Structure 1
Amino acid sequence: MSFDPHPIHEREGIVEFDVFIAGSGPIGALFARQLVDAGHNVVLVEMGDQSTAVPGSHKKNEIEYQKDIDRFVRVIQGALSTVSVPTSSTVIPELDPAAWRASKPEQSILTNGRNPLQKTHNNLGAEAVTRTVGGMSTHWTCATPEFLKRSGDTVYERPIIFEDVAKDNKEWGVLYDAARSIIGTSETEFDHSIRHNVVLNALRKHYPDRGVKPLPLACHRVAENSPYVMWHSAENVFGDMFDKKQEKKKNANGVQRGKFCMLVNTRCTRLHLQNDPAVPSIVTAEVRDLLAARLADETHAPSPGKDYYIRAKTFVIAAGAVATPQILANSNDLGGRPFGGRRDSPPSALIPNLGRYITEQPMAFCQIVLRQDLVDDAGNVEGKPEWWKKAVVEHRSKNPDDPLPFPFRDGEPQVTIPASYERPWHTQIHRDAFSYGEAGPRVDSRVVVDLRFFGRQDSEINNKMIFEDKFTDAYGMPQPTFEYEPSVKFADEASRMMNDMTDVANKLGGYLPGSNPQFMTPGLALHLGGTTRLGLKAQDSVGNYNSQVWKFNNLYVGGNGLIPTAFAANPTLTSMCLAIRAAHKIHMDLENKSFKPPSEDTPLEHIPPEWVRWTNDPNHPHFPHHNRPPQKSI
């Protein structure tokens, strides 16, 4: 099948881009920013549209949601598309006798992307994706904790890049410092919130030895004492890359930025190998203009003006934990076989571990209404800091009929009890918007606190995501089917996590009716891992810790799907760390004009301090200043 080159080649005067990237979330954005600032020409494709005025910005920054966080629940729900929905019965007993009925009652409804091969018992029923510039970072919680590191020979959450403990700790320290700076993590933005301090102080009193602290969040307060917070997203990772005035900006070494092009409403369909089968090497990415495809005759493929190829030296697939393996599973080797991941993939597939060993997080949830004594004490200004006294006095003066001491614009609680080796689960004790857990009109949201505890699930080869040969999703890509069963290894840990959550909840208040302690539908955490897992050996992984896919000399992956370990914490910060390493490897390959497949026998190298200098030197021209004015769309 032949295609024309994408018009972007002629428009930009670039016959072959240095790097092709699929996916515009924080990870795709981080690959783009590092490589463009290093002087390379990059083209990035995004299946979705640009749904915010500023590319990839957080939708919660809009004033209407800052004023009423519960209204943001609807935004999240609208942004999520469930990955695999089983078919449902056509039988409706209460139907009008004159209405249409299926002639065979055993038949099922197939429309709206239903998956006939998805079983209910082993589905990740709430696993979903977001297709837009910025991906899920346009509505995420912005929680950016580090993974719990190994203890001796026991691996907890953090993957092992170097077997030597000291070398491994040093590498992760450098990477985490850089990633926090890039995304703008802070633990101080809610210091002057009364509700935040009520929850923080109460938990510190009851758990003095558990290190209770503010939840690390990627955000910054608009101004001192302002009630508004700017939540960070892919926008902050892109930085000033969309500013036309900065196109020729130079880095600290005097190297001018490369070209950066972003194509929206553009599906990365598959990758194509070169003609020489000796070493698998990608030569083009096949893409589809989804807007043009609306007008094309689907019975005649390919259609002019719809499907194109993009030529590049290196290819990065960072389209999320579902779409990244989906694109690879839809690609073929020279014999017409899939790379891997398809239901009928042969044992000799180029990427045999694609979609295997997947992990997700059992999540416990409840909501409480704060205890009477905690609320009463919040209104007792004696012994409180001056800012606290002033806020309560002013609020009562202006609102004498309000029964609560909390100002209407008082910041929400954002607290965590850090994971430990004794209790290796992640905790979010806060008030925020999710696709569930809306407080509703019956209770004042100021006294509601959400508790979300995230557990671990071990990676097992039979827990997998399969891409179907006979069915496609709504976007014409192979339909994912989950075959996932919770592992027994951490079953007791999940039970202890639930008990811990209820203990914490009882220290803070009483359960909000309808939000009693419960385990949520599998997949709802939206932290799917392992789909393109990294490792030290090709036999049980997709790529090495440079994120380079085994056997291929110019193919890299990015995102949460790379994480091979059982993890409970939010994975974005750790995925950014892996992208920092990968981008440096790609840069060196391009600089040296040498592209080789990864080898298990070749020792991995530390990330050079110079590569991350821009993240920690305020005088560096590319330092991530997060309080700059927002950019306009290009």
Structure 2
Amino acid sequence: MTGRYPDAVDVAIVGSGPTGAAYARILSERSPGATIAMFEVGPTVSDPPGSHVKNIADPVRRAQAQHASQGPDADAATVSSPGVVKSGQRMGRAGTFLLPDGYRFDGEDGLPVAAMSSNVGGMAAHWTAACPRPGGSERIGFLPDLDELLDEGDRLLGVTTDAFDGSPFGGIVRERLSVAVDEGRAPAARVQRMPLAVHRREDGRLVWSGSDVVLGDETRGNANFALHDESLVTRVLVAEGRVTGVEVRDLRTEERHVVRARFVVVAADALRTPQLLWASGIRPDALGRYLNDQAQVVFATRIRDLPDLDTVVPADGTLAEYSGVSWVPFTDDMPFHGQVMQLDASPVPLADDDAVQPGSIVGLGLFCAKDLQRDDRVVFDDDRLDAYGMPAIGIHYLLTDRDHAVLDRAREEIVRLGAAVGEPLDPRPFTMPLGASLHYQGTTRMGEEDDGESVCGPDSELWAVPGVFVAGNGVIPTATACNPTLTSVALAVRGAREIARRLASA
């Protein structure tokens, strides 16, 4: 799947995360004769390329894969190898790296732990694999086919709801949460199993989806598809108002190449996609604006009155399956999304005594929807370069009074939910540093019409440059609280189908 850069392709894809992979997959299925080149700035860290590091059974090899994903500053002091983010610390999770500066401006909140990954598979090599569907105001109202697109996203990501059905305490957790939450909610908004991009092999071992699952055999077997790692796309090339290709720097040799392309898909993440467009001179006023993160509150509780287990639940190399992952969906009345999962493997002490029943500690997390503001944005400095030689990133971000009110409600609600499940370990919830969700959105937002408030149209094609499509969480135009990957992949499906249609009619 790798080789020398081609002179020309039908489609060039920048970024190998799940949305870039979705473009490659849909095009491989619908336009098998089209030539596709995918460029990834980071190295290949797993086998098959793009697979989740949780699937690496050897902890030493897993740690090596995470380290290799941490970009040019892999050994920076802001990388926490156990993956713990504590109060007062600016630390990123293993497999990610933080902005060295520019993450906060004077008088603003900023995103102090905004993080990225550089590796084949992108953040999907490190994610939690949660794939809830958006509800209420999270949904994109001008897309009539959204549900069908989400179904297709489920297919590409391999989403299931039964991976943890054997967990002995999962039903207990959901039953207690349901008593506290479900009254008055529509069925789709009641407590339920979290949809996860996880499946179980015949030998019983869990397999977590990464971009490898999205690419699938259809893409891997496509002789017209090639994946080029350690390849930095420095510019999208435009002539006479239309895309003509990309400029690529081979990070192994530092040589530069021009690859002509009929279509270019930029799927580099919500910070680096607008960065590449900016560096390419594609600078619509909405670029980088409406940046939004999901402020996150966490809490830990010990499940009370648990039955004794006859045997210890075996781990599959990454997780002992006691309570699985449960979901408290977002509603407009309660504008946060809840994720409840066991925390027994956490490196943070979760109880004072040593006689904790295995699997009895669960963590609750509530993600809050942002009050969208045009001035929350990512900006770029042409006079100052980042470690890759691209315009340096800066982040303007401020919580509004409404944001603070929602956070206050989330802190109250998470304590109530924790008490419903069991005995809280600490009466005070912990508010994670801004950026900790890794769910940055809005910076290349989709719009129904070109009114200056969006970067792309309903098919994810730039208003400003025909033939350039954007992909990833940055395309989502709504304020979501749920994990955004499924929605982003669904939007990528729509864009890929449009490219396939045009290729067929050319």
TM range (shorter): 0.7 to 0.9
Structure 1 position 520, deviation (Å): 1.1
Residues 82 and 347 in structure 2, CA contact (< 8 A), matched pair in contact too: no
Following the alignment from structure 1 to structure 2, what is the Cα–Cα distance between the partners of residues 208 and 148? 15
Structure 1 position 434, deviation (Å): 10
Structure 2 residue aligned with 1:219 = 198
Larger radius of gyration: 1
After superposition, where does 1:578-597 map in structure 2 within 5 Å? 578-593=491-506
Residues 458 and 565 in structure 1, CA contact (< 8 A), matched pair in contact too: no
- 1:48 paired to 2:42: yes
1:528 to 406, 415, 440: 440
Structure 1 residue aligned with 2:364 = 451
Residues 53 and 126 in structure 2, CA contact (< 8 A), matched pair in contact too: yes
Following the alignment from structure 1 to structure 2, what is the Cα–Cα distance between the partners of residues 412 and 588? 45
After superposition, where does 1:172-187 map in structure 2 within 5 Å? 172-187=146-161
Residues 17 and 120 in structure 2, CA contact (< 8 A), matched pair in contact too: yes
Q: Residue deviations 1:353-384, cap 9 Å, x none?
A: 1101111111111122222x2x2xx22xxxxx
- 1:16 paired to 2:5: no
Following the alignment from structure 1 to structure 2, what is the Cα–Cα distance between the partners of residues 437 and 555? 45
- 1:157 paired to 2:106: no
Following the alignment from structure 1 to structure 2, what is the Cα–Cα distance between the partners of residues 413 and 173? 26
One-letter amino acid matched to 1:427? G
After superposition, where does 1:137-536 map in structure 2 within 5 Å? 137-149=124-136, 156-162=137-143, 168=144, 171-209=145-183, 211-223=190-202, 226=204, 228-241=205-218, 243=220, 246-247=221-222, 259-274=224-239, 276=240, 280-293=241-254, 306-332=255-281, 339-340=282-283, 351-371=284-304, 373=305, 375=306, 378-379=307-308, 392-394=309-311, 409-431=320-342, 439=350, 444=356, 446-512=359-425, 516-536=428-448
Following the alignment from structure 1 to structure 2, what is the Cα–Cα distance between the partners of residues 22 and 527? 19
Residues 212 and 418 in structure 1, CA contact (< 8 A), matched pair in contact too: yes
Following the alignment from structure 1 to structure 2, what is the Cα–Cα distance between the partners of residues 207 and 193? 22
Alignment root-mean-square deviation, CA: 2.9
Give the SS at the match of 1:186. Answer: coil
Residues 242 and 467 in structure 2, CA contact (< 8 A), matched pair in contact too: yes
Following the alignment from structure 2 to structure 1, what is the Cα–Cα distance between the partners of residues 59 and 349? 13
Following the alignment from structure 2 to structure 1, what is the Cα–Cα distance between the partners of residues 345 and 236? 35
Following the alignment from structure 2 to structure 1, what is the Cα–Cα distance between the partners of residues 257 and 343? 42
2:81 to 56, 74, 82: 74
Structure 1 position 331, deviation (Å): 0.8
Q: Residue deviations 1:528-552, cap 9 Å, x none?
A: 1111011023211101010000032
Give the SS at the match of 2:233. Answer: strand
One-letter amino acid matched to 1:41? T
**440 and 355 in structure 1: CA distance in 2 versus 1, 3 angstrom threshold:** farther
Structure 1 position 493, deviation (Å): 2.5
**128 and 58 in structure 1: CA distance in 2 versus 1, 3 angstrom threshold:** same
Residues 321 and 559 in structure 1, CA contact (< 8 A), matched pair in contact too: yes
Residues 103 and 110 in structure 2, CA contact (< 8 A), matched pair in contact too: no
Residues 74 and 435 in structure 1, CA contact (< 8 A), matched pair in contact too: no
Residues 245 and 263 in structure 2, CA contact (< 8 A), matched pair in contact too: no
Residues 103 and 114 in structure 2, CA contact (< 8 A), matched pair in contact too: no
Following the alignment from structure 1 to structure 2, what is the Cα–Cα distance between the partners of residues 142 and 212? 18
Following the alignment from structure 1 to structure 2, what is the Cα–Cα distance between the partners of residues 430 and 269? 40
One-letter amino acid matched to 1:314? F
Residues 164 and 321 in structure 2, CA contact (< 8 A), matched pair in contact too: no
Question: What is the TM-score with the length of structure 2 in the denominator?
Answer: 0.85
Q: Residue deviations 1:119-143, cap 9 Å, x none?
A: 4733200110011000111111110
Following the alignment from structure 1 to structure 2, what is the Cα–Cα distance between the partners of residues 30 and 432? 32
- Between stretches 466-475 and 568-577, larger displacement belongs to 466-475
Give the SS at the match of 1:136. Answer: helix
Residues 413 and 449 in structure 1, CA contact (< 8 A), matched pair in contact too: no
Structure 1 position 242, deviation (Å): 6.3
Residues 141 and 432 in structure 1, CA contact (< 8 A), matched pair in contact too: no
Structure 1 position 586, deviation (Å): 0.9
Structure 1 position 510, deviation (Å): 3.1
**521 and 237 in structure 1: CA distance in 2 versus 1, 3 angstrom threshold:** same
Give the SS at the match of 1:32. Answer: helix
Structure 1 residue aligned with 2:123 = 136
**195 and 352 in structure 1: CA distance in 2 versus 1, 3 angstrom threshold:** same
Following the alignment from structure 2 to structure 1, what is the Cα–Cα distance between the partners of residues 442 and 349? 31
- Between stretches 357-366 and 502-511, larger displacement belongs to 502-511
Following the alignment from structure 2 to structure 1, what is the Cα–Cα distance between the partners of residues 441 and 471? 11
**575 and 194 in structure 1: CA distance in 2 versus 1, 3 angstrom threshold:** same
Residues 367 and 516 in structure 1, CA contact (< 8 A), matched pair in contact too: no
Give the SS at the match of 2:138. Answer: coil
Structure 1 residue aligned with 2:74 = none
Structure 1 position 172, deviation (Å): 1.5
Give the SS at the match of 2:498. Answer: helix
One-letter amino acid matched to 1:263? H
Following the alignment from structure 1 to structure 2, what is the Cα–Cα distance between the partners of residues 43 and 495? 47
**536 and 207 in structure 1: CA distance in 2 versus 1, 3 angstrom threshold:** closer
Structure 1 position 394, deviation (Å): 4.6
Question: What is the TM-score with the length of structure 1 in the denominator?
Answer: 0.69
One-letter amino acid matched to 1:287? V
Unmatched segments (≥5 aa) in structure 2:
67-79, 84-92
Q: Residue deviations 1:9-32, cap 9 Å, x none?
A: 2xxxxx421000000000000101
1:59 to 53, 63, 73: 53
Following the alignment from structure 1 to structure 2, what is the Cα–Cα distance between the partners of residues 571 and 496? 22
Matched pairs, number: 466
Structure 1 position 395, deviation (Å): 5.0
